[in-house]
Chain A
Amino acid sequence: MIHIFKKGTDATLPTLVLFHGTGGNEHDLIPLAEMLSPGSSVLGIRGNVLENGMPRYFRRLAEGVFDEEDLIFRTHEVNQFLDSAAAQYGFDSSNLVAVGYSNGANIAGSLLFHYGSIFRSAVLLHPMVPLRGLTLPSLAGVSVFIGAGTNDPLIKAEETRELEQLLQGAGADVTAHWGNQGHRLSTAEVEAARNWLGQHMN
């Protein structure tokens, strides 16, 4: 997969794995990563699917309607890529934090749904429920931050709460932060995520 790896200054810190929103690329969330955990190594991954020329991680047929077959295929593809990237760059794959926005948060969520503790922590910004009707693996020991908007134009509050409950039901420790900036990433959200991550990195 097209990606960028930036080695951090502190090898004891987790490596941040970045998943952009629709139309973004592997560089998009690097400034965010530097705010969340300065000193961490960073792996930015570009989605392998194009929607009208815009990179995404998996196909959808309409707003909120995912191509589940493709989503599952792409989830496995990212998982394999993470294994090969860990070998190539020598980062500790048992100490990863996912940071995803929108479509990127959905693929990160799907990775948790399929592979349990693949990430120690995940910062999911404006995620949806990636898949329904799945029996989740144990997420004991995994902490998840969800950034949501009370007035998000595309994601119902019920859906955010459903995701929260699914993750908690599988044993994850979930914190939700509600902002009012729609689907946008807000400063307050980033602040909250940074404070949260600071408390969950030891």
Chain B
Amino acid sequence: MTLQTAGIHHITAFVKDAQRNADFYAGILGLRLVKKTINFDAPEVYHLYFGNEQGAPGTIITFFPWVTGRKGRIGGGQVGVTTYAVPAGSLGFWEQRLAAYQIPVTKVTRISESYLSFADYDGLRIELVEREAGPLSTWSFGGVPAEHAIKGFGGAVLYSTDPGKTADTLTRTLGLEQIAEGDGYIRYRSTGDLGNIIDLKAAPVPQGGGGTGTVHHIAWRAKDDAEQLQWGRTVQSHGYQPTPVQDRQYFNAIYFREEGGILFEIATDPPGFARDEDADKLGQKLMLPAWFEPNRAVIEAKLSPFEIREVEVNQL
């Protein structure tokens, strides 16, 4: 029985400023902040998770806002573009909304689909595409009605320093299926209905540089801890040496860098974000793992406060 991942679990990136980050992803894109916690190795840096109402796998983008971090350079060995899925007939709404917020948008076509392509405040590349698959959002914020709201990831565009090797890992290790090719990209599909369409740039991309404004890693879904162990063995049998399982509080993670240079993670669907907060209060309070709790006052004092707020069009 060959393992197949359902698709993207989450994508993690570095940015500069927490308030700007929240304004963009919650205020403008209308996503929900589902968890406010810290980087467990650098507690003065937040770790923010944005997703759909539940923070379901396939909808979660996570950020480390790091003021003193070095600016990165998007390139090979990275996720080049993060793709969000909106309901059919919604691109017009988003085009107007992004224009109102004075965000420069380019319309592009790739493998017969239309995309709105733009960047966030830190230079991360984002695109919106209409997709039929996946449940409608149940979360509405900042003037984004649920019927036009982002459902979750459509997928991602991968920039590899060695596309042949990356393609091999996507299909033979992760169990994705190649379904199309065109416009300089090869398209793969996973079994889920969100975060399931991966476009690999067919030409090698020169090595990027990590830092703010770049994606750090992309995580693929494992059903549970047992399946994650199987994934570990599968990854190993393909010549990779994955890291030991690491407890990330809301999922367990293993990591390996595929041969095109992209850091891959395999993350478990459970326990999810309601493990330490009520589902209707996600993201409201700074959540700390037990071992940090005694130092909460010190930790909170070192974090720069930010709020989830509606962004006025004329306040920009």
Contacts and interface: CB of A to CB of B under 8 A. Distances in A.
Interface of A: 51-52, 59-65, 67-69, 132-133, 149, 151-156, 158, 181-184
A149 B259 CA distance: 12
B40 interface: yes
A52 B40 CA distance: 8
The 5 A-B pairs of least Cβ separation, nearest first, read A182-B241, A153-B241, A153-B256, A156-B261, A61-B42
Contacts of A182: 240-241
Contact of A154 (B40, B161, B255): B255
Contacts of A183: 241
B148 interface: no
A151 B41 contact: no
Contacts of B64: 61-62
B257 A184 contact: no
Contact of A51 (B41, B45, B217, B255): B41
Nearest to B39: A61
Contact of B257 (A52, A60, A156): A156
B209 to A, nearest CB: 7
A158 B207 contact: yes
Contacts of B39: 61-62
Nearest to B64: A61
A79 B119 CA distance: 43
B216 interface: yes
Given A51-B41, A67-B42, A132-B209, A62 B216 contact: yes
B42 A64 contact: no
Contacts of A67: 42
Nearest to A182: B241
Contacts of B261: 156, 158
Contacts of B241: 149, 151-153, 181-184
Contacts, number: 71
B305 to A, nearest CB: 20
B67 to A, nearest CB: 11
Given A151-B241, A153-B242, A154-B257, A64 B68 contact: no
Interface in B54-103: 64, 66, 68-70, 77
26 contacts: A59-B42, A60-B41, A60-B42, A61-B39, A61-B41, A61-B45, A61-B64, A61-B69, A62-B12, A62-B217, A63-B255, A64-B263, A65-B210, A69-B68, A132-B70, A132-B209, A151-B239, A151-B241, A153-B241, A153-B257, A155-B257, A156-B207, A156-B257, A158-B77, A182-B241, A184-B241
B188 interface: no
B249 interface: no
B240 to A, nearest CB: 6
A25 to B, nearest CB: 18
A189 to B, nearest CB: 14
A182 to B, nearest CB: 3
B257 A158 contact: no
B255 A153 contact: yes
B280 to A, nearest CB: 30
A153 B42 contact: no
Interface string B247-279: 000000001110001010000000000000000
Interface string B188-212: 0000000000000000000101110
Interface in B29-47: 39-42, 45
B243 interface: yes
A68 B42 CA distance: 12
B153 interface: no
Contact of A61 (B66, B255, B263): B66
B24 interface: no
B14 interface: yes
A60 B207 CA distance: 21
Nearest to B42: A61
Contacts of B45: 61
Contacts of A52: 40-41
Contacts of B211: 65
